[in-house]
């Protein structure tokens, strides 16, 4: 059986890498991360034109794009719209996303409660109006629509009907917000047991997507380290010939290949609705998130003094790696679930 990406998917990867490299060089990425909103307001319609938002894309197609948006961080609510919100959207909202007219995110975490995607929600709906508060909402200040977890299901609420408080975050291109709903008009998307099943599928997709982005981040960190080790000289030789640097690069490479294998397995399981999807996504998210942090830390150290400066781009990737590793709980939480699958 052939588990490789198709020729069309590899062509999509090449086009995506070229597009993102042209649009987000290191200077542009820094400008967006330090801007008022942290997003590229003009890119969303372009993504629609290129077909990146089409509902017909398989998750393996999206996997290629997600990895590349880690390699060159995309300053847009792509992860939150296509991964977190899209599975629950109705046909009309999905069409608006595909046309580039709508962005969305999932709002699930609440103050004073556990923050997991699968934990019970306290927000309530009465007579078609939703009341409650959500925190740590990714891209919450820049989207048009919230998919909100409530006591009896998932509901769609327009951002204009909510009170949104943006917060600065570690990653300037993927910020968080607090959102308060005070009798906001809400339309039901999924209710009852189907809502719990939907959240489970969303979490699997999100974990696989986070792993894929992490692989892209780690690959970019490794590429920057290798390029610097070839050009920077000390004692008349490129620093890459010295073990203190070359061992860092080799250690990152090994961790990266392990993460890539797990991330691709998770993506395949999600795309094929495989029974092992839950375990695969848990394992991929846990390992790839830590691998991305490891890669960035070693790349920064390998660059010496310049790697620790604000001007160098590596800290942008390091922040995205930490965001991904922390998403919906640290790696130990995912490993505990994997252990439960194996031992309980």
Percent above pLDDT 90 for the chain:
87
Q: Which residue, of 82, 98, 114, is where some domain finishes?
A: 98
Query: For 27, phi and psi rounded to 5 degrees?
Result: -70, -45
Q: Which two tokens stand for residue 119?
A: 């934990």
CATH number of the domain that residue 226 is part of: 1.20.140.10
- Residue 2 belongs to some domain of the structure: no
**Residue 2 scores a pLDDT above 80:** no
The total of structural domains in the chain comes to: 3
- Residue 248 belongs to some domain of the structure: yes
Beta bridge partners of 238: 233
The predicted model gives 210-229 an average pLDDT of 96
CA distances (Å), origin 283, targets 104, 222, 258, 341:
27, 22, 11, 11
- Alpha carbons 18 and 8: distance in angstroms, whole number: 15
pTM score: 0.96
Residue 108's pLDDT is 97
- Alpha carbons 92 and 311: distance in angstroms, whole number: 44
Nearest to 221 by CA among 319, 309, 74: 319
Lowest mean pLDDT among 100-109, 138-147, 202-211, 302-311: 302-311
Asked if 67 and 178 sit in the same domain, the reply is: no
- Alpha carbons 146 and 332: distance in angstroms, whole number: 29
* Per-residue confidence band for 344, with pLDDT thresholds at 50, 70 and 90: confident
Asked if 173 and 278 sit in the same domain, the reply is: no
Which residues contact residue 275 at a Cβ distance below 8 angstroms, ignoring those fewer than 6 apart? none
CATH number of the domain that residue 38 is part of: 1.10.540.10
- Residue 1 belongs to some domain of the structure: no
- Indicate the burial class of 4 (C-beta count within 10 angstroms; 0-12, 13-18, 19 or more): exposed
Residue 310's pLDDT is 86
Running DSSP on this structure, what letter comes out for residue 274?
Answer: -
**Residue 114 scores a pLDDT above 90:** no
pLDDT digits over 252-267, tens only?
A: 999 999 999 999 999 9
- Residue 281 belongs to some domain of the structure: yes
Is the torsion defined by CA of 335, 140, 79, 151 positive or negative?
A: positive
pLDDT digits over 293-336, tens only?
A: 999 999 999 998 888 898 999 999 999 999 999 999 999 999 99
User: Do 75 and 43 form a contact (C-beta atoms < 8 A)?
Assistant: yes
The residue segments making up the domain with residue 114 are 104-191
Residue 3's pLDDT is 65
């Amino acid at each position: 059986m052939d588990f490789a990406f198709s020729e069309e998917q590899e062509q999509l990867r090449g086009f995506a890498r070229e597009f993102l490299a042209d649009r987000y060089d290191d200077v542009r990425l820094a400008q967006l991360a330090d801007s008022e909103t942290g997003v590229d307001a003009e890119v969303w319609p372009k993504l629609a034109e290129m077909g990146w938002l089409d509902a017909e894309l398989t998750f393996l197609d999206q996997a290629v794009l997600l990895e590349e948006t880690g390699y060159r961080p995309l300053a847009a609510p792509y992860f939150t719209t296509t991964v977190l919100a899209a599975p629950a959207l109705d046909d009309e909202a999905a069409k608006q996303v595909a046309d580039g007219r709508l962005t969305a995110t999932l709002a699930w975490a609440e103050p004073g409660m556990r923050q997991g995607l699968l934990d019970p929600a306290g927000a309530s709906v009465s007579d078609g109006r939703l009341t409650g508060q959500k925190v740590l909402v990714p891209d919450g200040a820049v989207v048009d629509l919230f998919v909100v977890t409530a006591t009896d299901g998932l509901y769609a609420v327009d951002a204009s009907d909510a009170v949104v408080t943006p917060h600065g975050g570690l990653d300037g291109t993927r910020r968080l917000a607090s959102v308060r709903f005070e009798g906001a008009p809400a339309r039901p998307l999924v209710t009852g047991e189907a809502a719990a099943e939907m959240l489970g599928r969303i979490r699997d997709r999100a974990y696989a997507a986070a792993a894929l982005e992490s692989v892209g981040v780690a690959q970019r960190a490794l590429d920057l380290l290798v390029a610097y080790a070839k050009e920077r000289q000390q004692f008349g030789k490129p620093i890459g010939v010295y073990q203190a640097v070359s061992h860092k690069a080799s250690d990152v490479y090994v961790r990266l290949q392990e993460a890539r294998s797990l991330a691709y397995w998770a993506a395949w399981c999600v795309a094929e609705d495989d029974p092992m999807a839950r375990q695969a996504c848990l394992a991929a998210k846990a390992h790839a998130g830590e691998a991305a942090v490891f890669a960035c830390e070693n790349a920064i150290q390998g660059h010496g003094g310049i790697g620790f400066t604000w001007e160098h781009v590596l800290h942008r990737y390091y922040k995205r790696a930490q965001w991904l590793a922390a998403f919906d709980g640290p790696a130990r939480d995912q490993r505990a679930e994997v252990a439960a699958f194996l031992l309980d």
